[in-house]
């Protein structure tokens, strides 16, 4: 049974009135698990993930529990994501070709959702200030096969100085007090105290102040939290609208079947939500109903708040003055090695307007029209293709996860038994003859990693840090 802080109970008993008992009871209900299917994969049909029904918004969301060792997870067909969190990406809904910023992106659930809408076109910039979390973000971007993302680890102020008025759409899933996660996260309860929401609200204002600098005139910002706290929700939006008059609230589509609620205009008054005043002075600000609240006692999911805002268009605004990335020229030896690799391994490999970039010996295909990234901490720059070794080129794991099997000269579909051996790091003795060289190893039709065929066996190049043991009850010789 979840033990909630008494100050939390007192606050929401006062604010919710008659609905408070149902709200508190929801913290002891079963946790709803969910996931999204990844349309960027060659075969997006699930193989070993349960389908417990559709999430009532969007086309890719399902209820069900994902195993971290499942074929679907390892090959990036599914992303485990709490059902309410899936609503945020649906609200921003970027289009292919746009420039999109996910400003506080780790661990990557919302970034990979945005990538699904963008269909590898445009630029998805995913940022996370904490480097250890940014590494997890980068790994998830890779697993899902996203080719048009730049992953960075910068402060919002550092990014806004480099990328003023650059993005068409920005998502700020803000660091928050985490009240909406109390149901499944004991640590969130332990760190909460009465003044914690206001402390986070102060941080959120600072981040939003930098975010607005990076948005183009005519662009849109989606602000979201996983908290119920009015200080971080309605009060934050009321502050933004009063501070930046060029912004206006947009209507959010709330499907009736989803049971998503409107925001609470009365809660924009801090004196009221603190209990100092018994009558709210913001009840008349009905426009705040255009925000969205997801309550765990009303739907299958945790607590979330979402607002969508537009920045006034300015026909006289100049094009952004952000410097573009300069392409690199490979030396003659690198060009020869790469050409040989592409000829022997790939079928009709096409740059599609992208440009080569080098990080040491690691070769990337940068997203089209990428900005200058000098002096920034970049963890991923589009698609990592591979690494130049002595007199050879070794393909990156990311390349195996990003492209369909038909783009490779050799690919090998593993049986269930071979899959178990492969993810464990064992050599595979294939059931058919192959040519000496690189082989895309596939499971359920999707790339899982690399092997190299030599003398009748496939040497294993599945990354050592990802290897695991498949449970014996999941292994069968006849699949």
Task: Dig out the tokens for 154 from the structure.
Answer: 């910068």
The conformation of residue 253, written as its DSSP 8-state character, comes to P
Short-list 3, 155, 141, CA closest to 79: 141
C-alpha distances in Å from residue 68, one per residue of 76, 143, 234, 243, 378: 11, 12, 36, 44, 27
Say whether 176 is catalytic: no
Instruction: Name the strand (E) or helix (H) holding 344.
Output: helix 332-345
The DSSP string of 65-133 is ---TTSHHHHTTSEEE--GGGHHHHHHH---TT-EEEETT-TT-HHHHHHHHHHTT-SEEEEE-SSHHH
What's the Cα-to-Cα distance from 118 to each of 95, 170, 194, 233, 397, rounded to whole Å?
5, 14, 40, 28, 22
Q: State whether residue 252 is helix, strand or coil.
A: coil
Identify the burial level of 93 via C-beta atoms within 10 angstroms of its C-beta, where 0-12 means exposed, 13-18 middle and 19 or more buried: middle
Pairing of strands 292-294, 304-311: antiparallel
| Sign for the pseudo-dihedral over CA of 251, 123, 103, 68 | positive
Distance CA 31, CA 2 (A): 12
Which is it for strands 437-443 and 411-413: parallel, antiparallel or unpaired?
A: parallel
Helix (H, G, I), strand (E, B) or coil at 254: coil
Paired strand residues for 371 = 324
Contact by Cβ (8 Å): 147, 120: yes
Q: Which of 71, 104, 226, 229 is catalytic?
A: 226
Question: What residues are labeled active site?
Answer: 226
């Amino acid at each position: 049974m979840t033990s909630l802080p008494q100050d939390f109970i007192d606050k929401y008993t006062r604010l919710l009135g008659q609905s408070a008992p149902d709200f508190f009871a929801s913290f002891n209900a079963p946790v709803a698990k969910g996931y999204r299917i990844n349309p960027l994969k060659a075969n997006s049909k699930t193989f070993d993930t349960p389908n417990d029904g559709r999430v009532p918004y969007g086309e890719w969301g399902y209820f069900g529990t994902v195993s971290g060792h499942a074929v679907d997870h390892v090959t990036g067909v599914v992303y485990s994501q709490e059902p309410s969190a899936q609503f945020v990406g649906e609200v921003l809904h970027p289009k292919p070709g746009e420039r999109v910023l996910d400003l506080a992106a780790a661990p990557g659930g919302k970034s990979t959702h945005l990538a699904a809408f963008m269909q590898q076109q445009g630029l998805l910039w995913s940022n996370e200030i904490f480097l250890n979390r940014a590494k997890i973000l980068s790994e998830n971007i890779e697993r899902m096969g996203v080719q048009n993302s730049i992953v960075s680890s910068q402060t919002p102020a550092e990014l806004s100085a480099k990328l003023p008025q650059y993005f068409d759409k920005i998502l700020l899933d803000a660091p928050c007090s985490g009240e909406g996660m109390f149901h499944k996260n004991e640590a969130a309860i332990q760190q909460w105290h009465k003044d914690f929401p206001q402390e986070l609200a102060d941080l959120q204002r600072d981040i939003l102040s930098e975010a607005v600098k990076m948005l183009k005139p005519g662009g849109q910002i989606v602000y979201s939290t996983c908290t119920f706290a009015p200080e971080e929700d309605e009060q934050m939006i009321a502050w933004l609208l009063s501070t930046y008059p060029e912004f206006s609230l947009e209507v959010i589509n709330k499907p009736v079947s989803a049971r998503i609620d409107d925001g609470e205009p009365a809660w924009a008054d801090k004196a009221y939500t603190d209990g100092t005043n018994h009558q709210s002075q913001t009840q008349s600000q009905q426009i705040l109903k255009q925000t969205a609240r997801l309550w765990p006692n009303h739907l299958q999911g945790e607590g979330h708040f979402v607002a969508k805002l537009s920045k006034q268009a300015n026909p006289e605004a100049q094009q952004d003055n952000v410097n573009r990335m300069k392409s690199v020229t490979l030396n003659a030896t690198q060009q020869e090695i790469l050409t040989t690799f592409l000829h022997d391994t790939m079928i009709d490999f096409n740059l599609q307007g992208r440009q080569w970039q080098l990080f040491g010996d690691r070769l990337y295909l940068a997203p089209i029209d990428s900005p200058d990234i000098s002096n920034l901490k970049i963890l991923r720059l589009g698609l990592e293709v591979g690494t130049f070794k002595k007199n050879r080129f070794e393909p990156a794991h990311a390349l195996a996860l990003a492209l369909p099997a038909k783009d490779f000269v050799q690919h090998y579909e593993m049986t269930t038994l071979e899959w178990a051996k492969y993810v464990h790091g064992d050599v595979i003795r294939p059931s058919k003859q192959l040519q000496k060289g690189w082989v895309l190893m596939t499971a359920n039709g999707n790339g899982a990693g690399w092997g190299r065929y030599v003398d009748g066996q496939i040497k294993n190049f599945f990354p050592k840090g990802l290897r695991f043991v498949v449970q014996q009850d999941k292994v069968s010789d006849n699949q």
